[in-house]
Amino acid sequence: MGQTITEKIFNLHIKGKKVKAGDFVYAKVDLALGNDVTAPIAIEEFEKLGINKVKDSSSIVLVPDHFTPAKDIRSAQQARALKDFALRYNVEHYYEIGRMGIEHALLPEQGLVLPGSLIIGADSHTCTYGALGAFSTGIGSTDLAACWATGCCWFKVPETIKFIYHGTRKKWVTGKDLILFTIGKVGVDGALYKAMEFSGHVIEKLPIDQRFTMANMAIEAGGKSGIIAPDRITLEYIKEHPYKGLSTKNKEKQPVLLSSDKDAEYAQVIEINVSEIEPQVAMPHLPSNTLGVSKLKKICIDQVVIGSCTNGRISDLRIAAKILKGKKIHKNVRCIIFPATQEIYLQALKEGLIEIFVKADAVVSTSTCGPCLGGHMGVLAKGERALATTNRNFVGRMGHPESEVYLSNPAVAAASAIAGQIIGPEQL
């Protein structure tokens, strides 16, 4: 019996025989990520061990991105804890404000993620890196502390659900719509504990930014990881984003190009014809509560958020700018745009996108996870309604428990910001 790409990545990170889904393993971890919300707990737990050294500082990545630039004193203390830890243990991959970005856009951009890597992060959207053919998954703070100490993490090798996407994408239909449609089809626990392998002709042609968006939201179907076998598009991205740090170990790492065997065993194979899919909107309060945008009744909105680890990349901003150019945001709406990293911000500046946004009466913020989780920079009041290109629309996700969040792609978000109600770009 053959193996899935996920099983093969585990083979590379353990000693001994080939793994199969269901095995419990302690695997060596290539990268372990923490942020200003999750790492402070890990730091406290780690220090309790009393070992005063980390196993491999070059594998540690710390990104203060959730409540930064610090929104209050306590958040400042949490960010400070990361900085102190980085200084104490000589952690090179600590990204200070000005050099940082939203972690899941930042790490690939910094050349830290390679196909075949095994990555954990104390953030549920760590599954994003599967877009580059890595196994990556979210874990908790205690897991992170244990990994800093041992270089390893325990896993149950997941079964895989293979998703095959056929057909031709309609105009304005992006990776965001494919993943929202998929979550709508399988439900928020439809891929519980499983790897979601995205494949088929549509994926083979899908640009890398949209692949990131799809892998990013695997967790919203309960998935342990999302993964796309590396190909020409992956390698182009890797080439354009070489490792930018100093660590020799990271400099010497090479991509490992794996794919699932033809006779690999899958828990399920799900085929999706994308030709019939229109841009999707997830309604409150679950990402699986999806509907084609044209089927929505009139839904007026107070806020639009374009950005996040899901849709804050340069191509997302280009789509938004294309729609917002020469237009004005609706008088009853505030539109907040978040380039996901400094590099993306700079690129948007060079291309004149920022000017388009400001002239349209949108505000452009520094990179932060802030509004996505109701942290800061766009918290909703009671009864307010937002349309966001982010990944979750749970009760109170973006602010007051009686506020509402709808999810969509950047084109729908931009068009809706102009219209003051949720519409598709073609209805504008």
Partner 1 sequence: MKLRGNVWKFNHNVNTDEIIAARYLNTFDACELGAHCMEDIELDFSGKISVGDIIVAGRNFGCGSSREHAPIAIKGCGISCVIAESFARIFYRNAINIGLPILVSQQAAENINQGETLEIDLKEGKIYNLSSKKKYSTEKFADFMQEIIDSGGLLNWIQKKYVGTSHDLSDIKVKRKR
Tokens (6 digits) for 338 = 């978040």
- Closer of 45 and 197 to partner 1 (Cβ): 45
Q: Which of 7, 65, 109, 123 binds partner 1 (CB under 8 A)?
A: 123
Is 72 a residue that touches partner 1 (CB under 8 A)? yes
Part of the chain binding partner 1 (CB under 8 A), chosen from 33-41, 100-108, 226-234, 235-243: 33-41
Query: What ranges make up the beta strands (E) of 239-311?
Result: 268-273, 280-282, 290-292, 303-306
Q: Do the beta carbons of residue 30 and residue 22 sit within 8 Å?
A: no
Part of the chain binding partner 1 (CB under 8 A), chosen from 43-51, 164-172, 297-305, 337-345: 43-51
Site for partner 1 in 316-345 (CB under 8 A): none
* Cα–chain center distance at 36: 17
**Rounded least distance, CB 23 to partner 1, Å:** 5
- Closer of 48 and 295 to partner 1 (Cβ): 48
Q: Is 382 left (phi over 0), alpha (psi -120 to 50) or beta?
A: beta
Closest C-alpha among 246, 270, 243 to residue 255: 243
Q: Do the beta carbons of residue 364 and residue 320 sit within 8 Å?
A: no
CA 331 to CA 361: how far, in whole Å?
A: 9
Is 267 a residue that touches partner 1 (CB under 8 A)? no
CA 396 to CA 404: how far, in whole Å?
A: 7
**Rounded least distance, CB 5 to partner 1, Å:** 18
Part of the chain binding partner 1 (CB under 8 A), chosen from 70-78, 204-212, 226-234, 333-341: 70-78
Site for partner 1 in 131-150 (CB under 8 A): 138-143, 145-146, 149-150
CA 202 to CA 49: how far, in whole Å?
A: 48
Is 3 a residue that touches partner 1 (CB under 8 A)? no
- Closer of 122 and 423 to partner 1 (Cβ): 122
Q: Which of 3, 4, 38, 199 binds partner 1 (CB under 8 A)?
A: 38
Site for partner 1 in 365-404 (CB under 8 A): 373-375, 379, 392, 394-397, 401
CA distances from 230 to 117, 133, 204, 210, 259 (A): 12, 5, 10, 14, 7
The phi and psi torsions of 179 (rounded to 5 degrees) equal: -75, -35
Q: Do the beta carbons of residue 19 and residue 11 sit within 8 Å?
A: yes
Q: Pairing mode, if any, of strands 195-199 and 225-227? A: parallel
Show the site string, 191-220: x = touches partner 1 by CB under 8 A, - = not. -xx-------------------------x-
Tokens (6 digits) for 292 = 């084609």
3-state helix, strand, coil in the chain (%, to 5): 40, 20, 45
Q: Which run of H or E residues covers position 62?
A: strand 60-63
**Rounded least distance, CB 157 to partner 1, Å:** 9
Closest C-alpha among 254, 217, 259 to residue 239: 254
Show the site string, 219-238: x = touches partner 1 by CB under 8 A, - = not. x--x-x--------------
| Cross-strand bridge partners of residue 391 | none
Q: Which of 27, 282, 335, 388 binds partner 1 (CB under 8 A)?
A: 27
**Rounded least distance, CB 158 to partner 1, Å:** 9
Kindly state the number of chain residues that form the binding site for partner 1, as judged by CB under 8 A: 67
User: Which residues form the interface with partner 1 (CB under 8 A)?
Assistant: 13-17, 19, 22-28, 37-38, 40-41, 44-45, 48-51, 66-67, 71-72, 74-75, 78, 121-124, 126, 138-143, 145-146, 149-152, 154, 156, 188-189, 192-193, 219, 222, 224, 286, 373-375, 379, 392, 394-397, 401
